[in-house]
Amino acid sequence: MSFRLNIKYYLVHQLGFTNKEAIKAIENRKLKVNGAVITENIEFNETWEIYLDEQLLKPNAPFTYIALYKPRGIETTNNPAIENNLTTVFNFNKHLGYAGRLDKESEGLLILSNDGKYIQSLSSPLKDKEKEYIVTVNKPITDVFIEQMAQGVDIMICKTKPCIIEKLSEYEFKIILTEGKNRQIRRMCKALGYLVSSLIRVRIDTIELGSLKSGEFREFSIH
């Protein structure tokens, strides 16, 4: 997910301005963001300070970094109009972006933050950030399956990049990807004649799921 939040959106959706009031405040040079008068609808993050004339609307705030165990059956969206969205398991009291979508039937680590650059660094296909999964399939895993998965699989929309894969048991394997196509692991398995019965993400880059249980979360620092 690409994290984008502009000042007009923040004024309207977080501070209760009407669209007209927000546009007027920007055009009339009444807003100061981090000490600078703004004249256009700039990109924004929640750490910044906002003044309207001499009135403090929002003080500086630190970045927030959260590791969430997304339960199976929950959609990776904070849109309350969508059934079983993330807000049913996590209180979005801040505007948080998330890195590494998981499909509804998958579970495990999801990283949330109001640090847009950090979220983008984890999400961008150009960064080659590792994402590690534990996967259970519906029939015994063969050496041929492991070899073909490791080399990359034609999933119709593309051929996946080579990856690291290790057989853990007769029906379970660990896989480390540096890309994130939609339902990629499920498509890779299906192309080779397997169906995924369980898929858990246990790591994104250096952040691990650890001892989190389904629906639990913890804050962490990147410094």
* Positive or negative torsion for Cα 186, 190, 191, 193: positive
Answer yes or no: do 207 and 101 share one domain: yes
Assigned domain for 149 exists:
yes
Task: Map residue 89 onto helix, strand or coil.
Answer: coil
Is the model's pLDDT at 201 over the cut of 80?
A: yes
Domain count, the chain: 2
Answer yes or no: do 53 and 70 share one domain: no
Distance CA(147)–CA(144), nearest Å, equals 5
* 112-133 burial code (b ≥16 CB/10 A, e <16): bbbbbebbbebbeeeeebebbb
Answer yes or no: do 53 and 127 share one domain: no
- Which residues, in sequence order, are CB contacts of 160 under 8 Å at separation 6+? 152, 153, 177, 179, 181, 184, 188
Answer yes or no: do 139 and 53 share one domain: no
Range among 56-70, 77-91, 113-127, 148-162 rated most confident = 148-162
Q: Are 87 and 112 contacting, i.e. CB atoms less than 8 angstroms apart?
A: no
Answer yes or no: do 124 and 74 share one domain: yes
Is the model's pLDDT at 124 over the cut of 70?
A: yes
Answer yes or no: do 83 and 152 share one domain: yes
> What pLDDT, on the 0 to 100 scale, is given for residue 79?
86
Q: How far from each other are the two terminal CA atoms of the chain, in whole angstroms?
A: 22
Q: Last residue of a domain, which of 58, 75, 90?
A: 58
Q: Which of 105 and 12 is assigned the larger pLDDT?
A: 105
Answer yes or no: do 70 and 141 share one domain: yes
Assigned domain for 1 exists:
no
Q: Last residue of a domain, which of 36, 58, 80?
A: 58
Assigned domain for 136 exists:
yes
Answer yes or no: do 127 and 145 share one domain: yes
Share of the chain above pLDDT 90, in %: 72
Domain that holds residue 213: 65-219
Q: What is the pLDDT of residues 83-118, one digit of tens each?
A: 999 999 998 777 788 888 899 999 999 999 988 889
Q: What is the pLDDT of residues 173-185, one digit of tens each?
A: 999 999 989 999 9
Looking at residue 16, which CATH number applies to its domain? 3.10.290.10
Is the model's pLDDT at 65 over the cut of 60?
A: yes
CA 158 to chain centre: 22
Looking at residue 204, which CATH number applies to its domain? 3.30.2350.10
Backbone angles phi, psi at 19, to 5 degrees: -55, -40
Answer yes or no: do 14 and 108 share one domain: no
Answer yes or no: do 37 and 96 share one domain: no
Q: What is the pLDDT of residues 31-41, one digit of tens each?
A: 999 889 999 99
Answer yes or no: do 78 and 169 share one domain: yes
pTM of the model: 0.81
Catalytic machinery residues: 103
Answer yes or no: do 141 and 171 share one domain: yes
Residue of 137, 186, 123, 188 lying closest to 159 (CA atoms) = 188
Residue of 41, 58, 36, 46 lying closest to 7 (CA atoms) = 41
Distance CA(131)–CA(119), nearest Å, equals 14
Q: Are 38 and 27 contacting, i.e. CB atoms less than 8 angstroms apart?
A: no
